[in-house]
Structure 1
Amino acid sequence: MTRSQLKKASLLLTGLAIGGNLFAQSQDTTKTMSTDYVQPFSSGSAFRTWSVGFEGGVLTPYSIFSIKNQDFHSPHEKIGYGGFIKDQILPSFGLQLNFMKGNVAGAVTPANEANGTYTSFNTDINYSVDLAANFTLANINWRHNKSGIQPYLTLGGGVIGYSAVVNDNGTVTRQQRTHDFYLPVGAGFKIDLAKGVNLDLGYQVNFVNADDFDGIVGGSTNDRFSYGHVGLEFALGSRSKPQLATHNPVSSMRTEYLMDEQRLQLQVDRQRAENERLKSDLSATNAKVDKLTVDTDGDGVPDIFDKCPNTPAGTAVDGSGCPLPVKKPDVKVYVTQEDKKVVNEAVKNLEFDFGKSTIREHSFESLNKLAQLLVSKGFNLKLAGYTDNVGSEAANLKLSRERAEAVKTYLAQQGADASKIQAEGYGKANPIATNKTEKGRQINRRVEFSMF
């Protein structure tokens, strides 16, 4: 195997191993995604960055640094308390405004008389306010979605106001209230108790920029005291957002990778389903096309459109597959004088009820003879209805048409072919007599017959 092939095989095996590991953790990622997932490179508005804390603990002049250079070598423990408000600017960096009050006390050991006759002191911290940088450690975790513990370091500066009481073998000396700059340096860790709630365990050494914090001036260094505390931190803002200080961006990147993979797989599944649907539609279409081409009786019309299946071979058919009617030879029929007489009798005896299209009974006999003539000889007949000029033009036109249709209907009822009878109404047009007399108007109220 060449070096190039070996390199490709190694990359492939590495990719398979990583992919298998990510799939194995997908269930864990799904759980995390619902509460702590934030799209990578999102702005600070996607997190809860502000928080407040309250704490209480022990104040003592003893610290992790040497106490030999302090004015009092026997530290006493006193109660202190405080609080803070913090803005987490970056996942690992925030600014914290701290407040603290309490008492610091100490004494001189019998073996050390460097301070003369002073035996003890008690300093009342009236207030201390400082602004500190908070560096969160180990919140970026490559093995777990979220770390349960976040170590941190703090460094700041502020102002402390205090007054001390010094015991000089029974003589008490009170120091006037004063204030100085001090430098707090601390470390600790926070434990996640619930979403947005952390247990804060910390230790802090406070370097005072003065040597009279304990009420006296002595020694070669400024005074300092320590503060060990326990408290609770509460994240501010919407509970649907994760706290930036406890958020693991590596987990969101991993979740984003798996989500992209899931979206891609979903697209593949949808495309596969779409392909199956298209394949099914194509099969159905092909089946329909096959039906369109089947012609069982061979008449040239596919069965799906053939309304007259199984026609005998050689039969001429129309577009629907039905046999074409056999064309009968034309037979010329002539209208005789006798035929015209029948028509004239029908016209002469035709009467209607006044203002109606109802044919009077004495007209039926001549109309019956006309119907028999139409049936026997197959004549075509045109009926033209007319009225006098009494009434509106629209009413007369309607009445003339209805009377012509009434004659057509009657003849059809007697067996005549209705398709060979044409009925029209012309109203008061084409009068054949004057409309000034009743007789003339009676003549104009007529239905003309034209047979051919």
Structure 2
Amino acid sequence: MKTNLKKATLLLTGLMVGSKLFAQSPDTTVTKDYVQPFSGGGAFRTWSIGIHGGVLTPYTIFGTNGKQDFTTPQAELGYGGYIKKQILPSFGLQADFLAGKVKGKDAQPGSAYNSFQTKVQWSAALSGNLTLANINWRHQKGAIQPYVTFGGGVINYKPVLTTAAGVSTNFKANDESIREVFIPVGAGLKFNLGRGVNLDMGYQVNFVATDNFDGYNYGGGSDKFSYAHIGLEFALGSSKKPQLATHNPVNSMRTEYLWQDQQNKAALQAQIDAEKAANDKLRADLDATNANLAKFTVDSDADGVPDFYDKCPNTPAGTKVDGSGCPLAKAEVKVYVTEEDKRVVKDAINNLEFDLGKATIRPKSFPSLDRVAKLLTDKNFSLKLAGHTDDTGSDALNLRLSKDRAESIKAYLVSKGANASRIEATGYGESQPIATNKTAAGRQANRRVEFTLY
């Protein structure tokens, strides 16, 4: 008995030393182990193998020694292993192997034998493994996983009975072994030592189908024996993936919510900072160029045509002029806006583009604006241009930019012959959004120039 306990102590010490070696690499951080909710099985390591060693004894927690076929259980070394497939974070299937010796002495009255020794040559079982600690809001991965197992399989064993005089006899003639069905039921704890290594400490009771396991039939009940073990489990697959068995799906949903909220705030703040910096540069560029462009915007006679384009300067106030600043020679003819006219204006709006943060029209927009200018000159329409921006930057800067862009379109249409007095250019800045300014798509929709033809 002392020799067996010494062997068990050495075995457990070896396993603990091995576990320390495997645990030298630090545990993964929350970020490294994080997996987006509802990811497929390919995001995890779902296969693992385990090895273990421990103590086999005929005594179990489901009975007392006095009711056993042999009333004094003895401890012997056992060993085994398994291959496990994790199907869900809380459930897996594993194929188990177990071997070793089970011993006991002091048979119940009526037996000619004093002790027995049963050699478990091999046993194979398929068990379900239910993990109990992977549903938690606060911790992404628990350091300890309690579990229970249950299953069924086949055990191959050979009982040997010994009399008080020391004579041993095989339970079956010709030294034959017995093969029977058995049911293993167990519980234990797994401790995470590293990213792919777990320390496994468990206790298992094995219910044999008959009363032949110890070679002595007493009381008519089926035999059973227990196995207390310690071992290591190794996750198979890429070390970059976390173990499904330690994954907490509830916490990952909470983490996803918090991360997305933080990322959205950070991304929005970064975009605001970038656009503020761009606006500051734009302000400096506008201040530097306004003096050079003043001659293109001065309108001394207030007829809507800048002096640079005005061929008839100093026209009387209120005089309607054409695109070159000269009084109109013919009377107005009332016309109606058709669907085709509206399509021309809508096409100009859809194709309108400015340089980033500036009032400079890009050449891509010229063809559709040319058609609007022709429409204004042919049908003598009036046009209202309303410039709008998003809320990025200061109110004053947005108001100025929206006004400058509307004026830039007006100047282009006038340069193509449109009547300046029939074009009204107004800037509203950020005051009239048509979408939310909290998203990039919304801000893009708010940066616009509206055309109203009448």
Mark yes or no: TM-score above 0.5: yes
Q: What is the RMSD of the two structures over their aligned residues, measured on CA atoms? A: 2.5
Amino acid at match of 2:112: T
**2:72 corresponds to:** 74
**1:288 corresponds to:** 289
**1:173 corresponds to:** 169
**2:131 corresponds to:** 136
Amino acid at match of 2:178: T
**2:147 corresponds to:** 152
How big is each residue's C-alpha offset from its partner over 1:178-210, in whole Å with a ceiling of 9 and x where there is no partner?
Answer: 110000000001001111100000000000001
Structure 1: which 5+ runs fail to align? 1-30, 296-305, 307-452
Whole-Å separation in 2 of the counterparts to 1:273 and 1:294: 34
Q: Is the 8 A contact 1:128 1:159 kept in 2?
A: yes
Structure 1 residue 278 displacement after superposition: 3.0
**1:251 corresponds to:** 251
Structure 1 residue 101 displacement after superposition: 0.6
Q: Is the 8 A contact 1:132 1:156 kept in 2?
A: yes
**1:59 corresponds to:** 56
Structure 1 residue 70 displacement after superposition: 2.2
SS at match of 2:113: coil
Larger radius of gyration: 1
Structure 1 residue 124 displacement after superposition: 0.5
**1:42 corresponds to:** 39
**1:89 corresponds to:** 87
Structure 1 residue 149 displacement after superposition: 0.5
Q: Is the 8 A contact 2:100 2:120 kept in 1?
A: yes
How big is each residue's C-alpha offset from its partner over 1:119-160, in whole Å with a ceiling of 9 and x where there is no partner?
Answer: 100001010000000001112222323211100000000000
Amino acid at match of 2:289: K
Structure 1 residue 285 displacement after superposition: 2.1
**1:103 corresponds to:** 101
How big is each residue's C-alpha offset from its partner over 1:218-252, in whole Å with a ceiling of 9 and x where there is no partner?
Answer: 22210000000000000000000000101122332
Q: Percent identical across equivalent pairs?
A: 52
**1:196 corresponds to:** 196
Amino acid at match of 1:153: V
1:212 aligns with 2:199: no
SS at match of 2:265: helix
Whole-Å separation in 1 of the counterparts to 2:58 and 2:99: 15
Instruction: Name the TM-score, length of structure 1 as normaliser.
Output: 0.56
SS at match of 1:241: coil
Q: Is the 8 A contact 2:30 2:140 kept in 1?
A: no
Q: Is the 8 A contact 1:33 1:255 kept in 2?
A: no
SS at match of 1:271: helix
SS at match of 1:104: strand
Whole-Å separation in 2 of the counterparts to 1:105 and 1:155: 24
Match 1:161 to one of 145, 148, 156? 156
Q: Is the 8 A contact 1:71 1:115 kept in 2?
A: no
SS at match of 1:194: coil
SS at match of 1:266: helix
Structure 1 residue 269 displacement after superposition: 1.7
Counterparts of 1:375-386 in structure 2 under 5 Å?
A: none
How big is each residue's C-alpha offset from its partner over 1:295-340, in whole Å with a ceiling of 9 and x where there is no partner?
Answer: 9xxxxxxxxxx9xxxxxxxxxxxxxxxxxxxxxxxxxxxxxxxxxx
Whole-Å separation in 1 of the counterparts to 2:154 and 2:293: 97
**1:126 corresponds to:** 121
Structure 1 residue 274 displacement after superposition: 4.2
SS at match of 1:191: strand
**1:221 corresponds to:** 221
Structure 1 residue 284 displacement after superposition: 2.4
Structure 1 residue 66 displacement after superposition: 1.1
Q: Is the 8 A contact 1:84 1:98 kept in 2?
A: yes
Aligned residue pairs total 267
Structure 1 residue 165 displacement after superposition: 0.7
Structure 1 residue 172 displacement after superposition: 2.0
Structure 1 residue 92 displacement after superposition: 0.3
Structure 1 residue 268 displacement after superposition: 1.6
For residues 162 and 259 of structure 1, do their structure 2 counterparts lie closer, same or farther at Cα, with a shift above 3 Å needed? Answer: same
Structure 1 residue 293 displacement after superposition: 1.9
Q: Is the 8 A contact 1:69 1:221 kept in 2?
A: no
Q: Which moved further from structure 2: 33-42 or 159-168? A: 33-42
Structure 2: which 5+ runs fail to align? 1-27, 297-307, 309-454
Whole-Å separation in 1 of the counterparts to 2:291 and 2:260: 45
SS at match of 1:39: coil
Amino acid at match of 1:35: K
Whole-Å separation in 1 of the counterparts to 2:70 and 2:215: 10
Whole-Å separation in 1 of the counterparts to 2:280 and 2:32: 42
Structure 1 residue 105 displacement after superposition: 0.5
Whole-Å separation in 2 of the counterparts to 1:181 and 1:239: 38
SS at match of 1:211: coil
Amino acid at match of 2:51: F
**1:450 corresponds to:** none
Structure 1 residue 114 displacement after superposition: 2.2
Moved segments of 4+, more than 4 Å? none
Q: Is the 8 A contact 2:111 2:216 kept in 1?
A: no
Q: Is the 8 A contact 2:201 2:229 kept in 1?
A: yes
Q: Which moved further from structure 2: 242-251 or 227-236? A: 242-251
Instruction: Name the TM-score, length of structure 2 as normaliser.
Output: 0.55
Whole-Å separation in 2 of the counterparts to 1:95 and 1:232: 17
SS at match of 1:250: helix
Counterparts of 1:237-316 in structure 2 under 5 Å?
A: 237-276=237-276, 277-278=278-279, 280-282=281-283, 284-293=285-294
